[in-house]
Structure 1
Amino acid sequence: MKPIEVLINKEVAAHIRSWRFAILIFLIILTFIASMYVSSSNLRSAITDLQHSGESFIYLKLLTTTDQSIPPFHVFLNFLGPLLGIALGFDAINGEQNGNTMVRLLAHPIYRDNVLLAKFLGPLLIISTLFTALVLLMLGAGLWRTGVRIEVQEFIRIIGFVFMTILYVAFWLSLSILVSIRFRHAATSALTAIGIWLFFTVFFPIIVNLFVRSFLPNPSYLTEKEFIDYNNLILNILRLSPSQLYTDATTTLLSPSVRSLGPITMEQMAGAIPSALSFRQSVLIVWPQVSGLLAATLMCFAWGYYLFMRKEIRS
């Protein structure tokens, strides 16, 4: 394990000393300040609502409450996470090749897979540290503002939210490393990764809505069961997008009252007790989203591994 540890330390040091990392830190600080300002300004009304409803998940409200002027914290991360993953991986391989350092790196007694693993694990370690520190800052600011002790279930749910965010960014990191292996120039790989992100974030929902309106019947003329099947079909198509999987998972983890990610009938709601779900039950709801993101990340990394191991590298 010694060669890969050296390579990971090299990648972490290279990223930390770059201007790119300073800009990303600046963006994360702005995210923290904006989210904390909005959450703090609406925290008192959120606490009042929780007292009326009998719940006590104050710190979950700190991460989800908003006054509609800016998105809540987890929506901010849905936008910032892909940019962070792409920025740390779009020139991971072709940057070394264009700088003629890949040949010298592989001239040492190390394996190619160690190089690729270090290119993935080094930025992932930085990302994990950044997001963990950001969430801990939010919790510390909430503790200082309210003085309320955090509950165990709240903390477990927030840890699950951090894990889901890291997994989401890991997908975009593996995708950006894949395009950096596939394309020779860093500008081409960056534009390709950003284009894929824009497609799934902006254009994919538009295409799905146009497709549904063109080929499926008008929802106004459907029965209740057909309308539910109609919406489930749309949601299942939208879940081909990584951002939709992340949104579903984080919404369920940070909102214990969410019982379903799709429409349900009144018969299904009959007899349901209006109480918060346990963390285990919420995980069972979002397990398809977690496994989908994990499978997409492994697929991108495996494809990049295959291309990198067969790639001809010369000076």
Structure 2
Amino acid sequence: MPDSDLTLNAHTVAEPTKQKKQHKLKTKAIHPFRVLVQKEISDQVRSWKFIILLGIIALTCLGSLYTSLTNIGHAIKANDPEADFFFLKLFTLTDGSLPSYSVFISFLGPLLGLSLGFDAINSERNRGTLSRLMAQPIHRDYLINAKFLASLSVISVLLFALGFLVMGIGMLIIGLPPTAEEFWRVVFFIIISVFYVAFWLNLSILFSVKFRQAATSALAGIAVWLFFSIFFVMIINLINKATMPPQYAPPAVILGHENLMLNLTRISPSTLFSEATSTMLMPSVRSLGPLTMQQVQGAIPSPLPIGQSLLLVWPQLTGLIALTLVCFAFSYVGFMRKEIRSR
């Protein structure tokens, strides 16, 4: 055989081998955790539950924005300490017909988090795909981490998009851009909203790991949400009436009772969220607890700078982050100890 034919045959054999090596290198470049996150984001965005919730949240957002824009002229007063923060009223102003944007987020945010996580694990188990995924050469914790990170990414993008949409429409209609402090206050408000919804997301993932049926985990999440939204306030009111000191009690006793009731209400995540958002969107809020006459006397009625507002809401933000991490830790440990069998 001529040398030219040998060279041609060697080149022909080496070319597919080289292509296979390049294909393997490209395949290894994509981390399996990234593939799982991309797949979960795609599934979440294309699901009907997300599309329906997106429509509801967008409609309520536009409704609250319309209410605030139609009443924003009557809300500005001459001696208003928040007159310089004209743009923040788009998120807090209401005429009573529709709640404000921040109230809508506190009400619909838990539904968004619960809907994205109530079938995160048990749906994979019921379809029989969980055992197939675990049979692949990937770490077991990749799945639950990808579920959480994908849902959190969807929630973050949605809340930031809605917040910037409100600011954009407000600029087009009002004709005034927000100041730097107003912009950063809105950004921190959105970040607090992300942590608030992330708590309900992790709670729903925990129920998805605990219960086998998706309907059971969904009902458990809704039950917790209704308890903190409705019944928890009733229980606190009953405790307040039962432990209220008499009118002739010393001021220190009355102040201690008020602080106790306030701390009990802060067990609810919705209370932590409402206190944090009201402080960020209303710069005139100078305290989140009862004030004494010594604190009120001589105080100048001026808005707080953004740094002082952040220090004021730091305990509430820390509480939301702690609740989120605790729920995720329980769901993580429960999933890692869960026995997974092929059907």
Structure 2 length-normalised TM: 0.88
Alignment of 1:70-219 (within 5 A): 70-218=98-246
RMSD: 1.4
Partner secondary structure for residue 58 of structure 1:
coil
Query: Deviation per CA, 1:119-157, whole angstroms, max 9, x where unpaired?
Result: 101011011111111011100111011111210000111
Q: Is the Cα contact below 8 Å between 1:50 and 1:57 reproduced in 2? A: no
CA distance in 2, matches of 1:115, 1:305: 10
Q: Is the Cα contact below 8 Å between 2:81 and 2:302 reproduced in 1? A: no
Structure-2 residue corresponding to 1:231: 258
CA distance in 2, matches of 1:70, 1:276: 27
Give the AA of the match of 2:141. Answer: D
Q: Is the Cα contact below 8 Å between 1:200 and 1:241 reproduced in 2? A: yes
CA distance in 2, matches of 1:53, 1:216: 34
Query: Deviation per CA, 1:4-46, whole angstroms, max 9, x where unpaired?
Result: 1111101110011111111011111111121111111111123
Query: Does 2:294 match 1:267?
Result: yes
Partner secondary structure for residue 229 of structure 1:
helix
Of the structure 1 ranges 203-212 and 74-83, higher mean CA displacement relative to structure 2 is found in 203-212
Q: Is the Cα contact below 8 Å between 2:81 and 2:301 reproduced in 1? A: no
Structure-2 residue corresponding to 1:57: 85
Give the AA of the match of 2:224. Answer: I
Structure-2 residue corresponding to 1:18: 47
Partner secondary structure for residue 88 of structure 2:
helix
CA distance in 1, matches of 2:81, 2:321: 36
> What fraction of aligned residue pairs are identical, expressed as a percent?
50
Call closer, same or farther: CA 1:55–1:105 in 2, change over 3 Å: same
Which one has the largest radius of gyration?
Answer: 2
Structure-1 residue corresponding to 2:71: 42
CA distance in 1, matches of 2:36, 2:78: 49
Q: Is the Cα contact below 8 Å between 1:50 and 1:56 reproduced in 2? A: no
Structure-2 residue corresponding to 1:285: 312
Q: CA deviation at 1:265?
A: 1.3
Q: Is the Cα contact below 8 Å between 1:11 and 1:118 reproduced in 2? A: yes
Structure-2 residue corresponding to 1:244: 271
Q: CA deviation at 1:224?
A: 3.5
Call closer, same or farther: CA 1:193–1:50 in 2, change over 3 Å: farther
Partner secondary structure for residue 42 of structure 1:
helix
Give the AA of the match of 1:298. Answer: L
CA distance in 1, matches of 2:203, 2:41: 19
Give the AA of the match of 1:55. Answer: A
Structure-2 residue corresponding to 1:9: 38
Give the AA of the match of 1:82. Answer: P
Q: CA deviation at 1:222?
A: 3.4
Give the AA of the match of 2:57. Answer: I
CA distance in 2, matches of 1:53, 1:238: 28
Partner secondary structure for residue 289 of structure 2:
coil
CA distance in 1, matches of 2:158, 2:249: 48
Alignment of 1:293-304 (within 5 A): 293-304=320-331
Give the AA of the match of 1:5. Answer: R
Structure-1 residue corresponding to 2:25: none
CA distance in 2, matches of 1:271, 1:49: 23
Q: CA deviation at 1:53?
A: 4.4
CA distance in 2, matches of 1:302, 1:189: 17
Q: CA deviation at 1:54?
A: 7.1
Query: Does 2:56 match 1:27?
Result: yes
Q: CA deviation at 1:51?
A: 7.2
Structure 1 portions without partners, runs of 5+: none
CA distance in 2, matches of 1:258, 1:24: 32
How many residue pairs align between the two structures? 313
Of the structure 1 ranges 190-199 and 208-217, higher mean CA displacement relative to structure 2 is found in 208-217
Structure 1 length-normalised TM: 0.96
Call closer, same or farther: CA 1:52–1:195 in 2, change over 3 Å: closer
